[in-house]
Amino acid sequence: MENDKLLKIKEVCNLLNVSTRKFYEDIKTDKTFPQSFRLANTKTKLYSQKEIREWINLQMQNNRVS
C-alpha cells in the first residue's frame, strides 16, 4: 500500500468528476470498478486511490474516441 491514499466516496467522486448519484447509478455497478473496503470497527467505505487511478487509465485506453 506504499504511496497509496484511502479515499472516501465523496473523494472518489471528486477524482472522477461525477456526482454521488452518478457514481452509484453507473460506476459502482461496473464490475471492473475497484471494490470498497472497511477498516476494522468502522462504517466508512474506503477505496484505494491507486486502484481508482489504474481503473481510470484502463478506461482511457479502452474508450478512446477517434
Q: Which has more pLDDT, 66 or 55?
A: 55
Confidence tier at 56 by pLDDT (50, 70, 90) = very high
Is the residue at 29 inside a domain?
yes
Q: Answer yes or no: is 57 within a domain.
A: yes
> 26 in a domain, yes or no?
yes
Tens digits of residue pLDDT in 34-52: 999 999 999 999 999 999 9
Residue 1 lies in a domain: no
Dihedral of CA atoms 26, 5, 3, 36 in degrees, nearest 10, equals -50
CB 46 within 8 A of CB 8: yes
Closest CA to 10 of 45, 43, 54: 45
28 pLDDT more than 90? no
| Model pTM score | 0.84
Q: Which domain holds residue 50?
A: 6-62
CA distance 13 to 7: 10
Residue 24 belongs to some domain of the structure: yes
Model confidence at 1: pLDDT above 60? no
- Total domains in the chain come to 1
In a domain? residue 33: yes
Q: Does 35 map to a domain?
A: yes
